[in-house]
Amino acid sequence: MNTLRKLVHGARSGRSASAERARRAGRAATSLLFVAVLSLALVWHFSGRGDAACALSSAEPRAVAERTELEPDERRTVELFRSVSPATVNVTNIGLYRTSYWDMDVTEVPQGTGSGFVWDDDGHVVTNFHVVANGSRFKVTFANGDTFDAAAVGVDPDSDIAVLKVDAPSDKLVPLQIGRSSDLQVGQKVYAIGHPFGLDQTLTTGIISGLNREIRSKSDRRIRNVVQTDAAINPGNSGGPLMDSAGRLIGMNTAILSPSGTSSGVGFAVPVDTINRIVPKLISGTDVERPGLGVTINERASRFLRAGGLIVAGVESGGAAARAGIQPPRMRDNGDEVYDVIVGVGNRQVRSMEELRDALDGYDIGDEVPVSVRRDGKVETMRVKLQGVAAQRR
């Protein structure tokens, strides 16, 4: 019996030892497999295959970006910029300055830059008057960097409009499509192109923030029906086009309202209807006219005599004022001089030439307006049909 027990116990011990040896062999095989896989990975990486895999991985995001489609609104904006960019130019104003106080030698010095746009196939470029003011000659640079000399054709300081003529090949002259400003609406999208701070062509977008604004021109005259926009306009944008979503010209960027001198989201553009009325006259050499009465005023005597208005020093024969009954100075039988004094236009008092111009700028040529005239101590109201008066050229 004891012998049988020993045999059974020995058999069991043998099986346990065999199982333990098998488990150890399995763990060793697993470790060897792990080491082999790791070694292969390292060899694969350092042999350059890993770099190829990394390059492939890094290329995948670029491929995805290339396949990404622009939104319809983005595509329209991109196409608009591409189509109008050739028509938008940079204008450099060059002035003449004496090199010293003691001699008469002069040198040309760039004294400012702005923007502009091609008006027609003849090479006329429209910009702001304040961009070209006091310049002796000008240079126009197109979108591709080509630069050409330009000469001033005509200016209208009262509306801050100037026309240059550039000597450029016909293939450079891509005129903008002219729109209208009479039917603009607050809230519609607008696009401005220019060269702010001397940078290359820059596109900014926004909306029409307001209509029928008034701003002062360089000659201190009021510019009426100005378009207000929140599209960023900065120094250098002056003279550049403001366009609607179809790429049509609706205004010329002219001024900003900003204490810091940079865009604060309040920019102003001369309306295209004003531009379209004045530019052809400047090109043809025709006088630009403003609504007037057909009178000459002695402002100095008006102030000296404290007339409380403007003394009429002369009346144009057959003019608007003469037809309405306004009279020039005249002598009474006793030798006293009698003169008419204009004290009001419409519902506005006028005591200076500036106030008279501002009052008349609220009307158009041909409008019939009430003009208040003091004569012999009594104020009479006369209906005057306004005539065109040539604006002062500077």
The rounded radius of gyration (Å) of the Cα atoms in the chain is 40
DSSP state of 182: T
| DSSP state for residue 308 in the 8-state scheme | S
> How far is 207 from 269, CA to CA, in rounded Å?
12
Tokens in use for 300? 């100095």
pLDDT one digit per residue (tens) for the chain, 394 residues:
444 444 344 444 444 555 566 566 556 555 555 555 555 555 455 554 444 444 444 455 555 455 568 888 899 999 999 999 999 999 999 876 555 555 555 555 556 789 999 999 999 999 999 999 988 889 999 998 999 999 999 999 989 999 999 989 999 999 999 999 999 999 999 999 988 776 778 899 999 999 999 888 877 788 889 999 999 888 788 899 999 999 999 999 998 776 666 666 789 999 999 999 999 999 999 888 889 999 999 999 999 989 999 999 999 999 999 999 999 999 887 878 889 999 999 999 999 998 998 889 878 899 999 999 999 889 999 999 999 988 755 4
**Catalytic residue list:** 130, 160, 238
Q: How far is CA 80 from CA 25, 60, 139, 206, 356, in A?
A: 75, 31, 26, 14, 43
The answer to whether 266 and 255 have CB atoms below 8 angstroms apart is no
Q: How far is Cα 17 from Cα 123, in angstroms, rounded to an integer?
A: 104
Q: How far is residue 384's CA from residue 294's CA, in Å, rounded to a whole number?
A: 10
What pTM, to 2 d.p., does this model score?
0.70
Asked whether 327 and 340 are in contact (CB, 8 A), the reply is: yes
Whose CA is closest to 110, among 135, 85, 133, 127?
135
- Pairing verdict, β 189-194 and 241-243: antiparallel
- CB–CB of 84/241 below 8 Å? yes
CA distance 227 to 195: 20
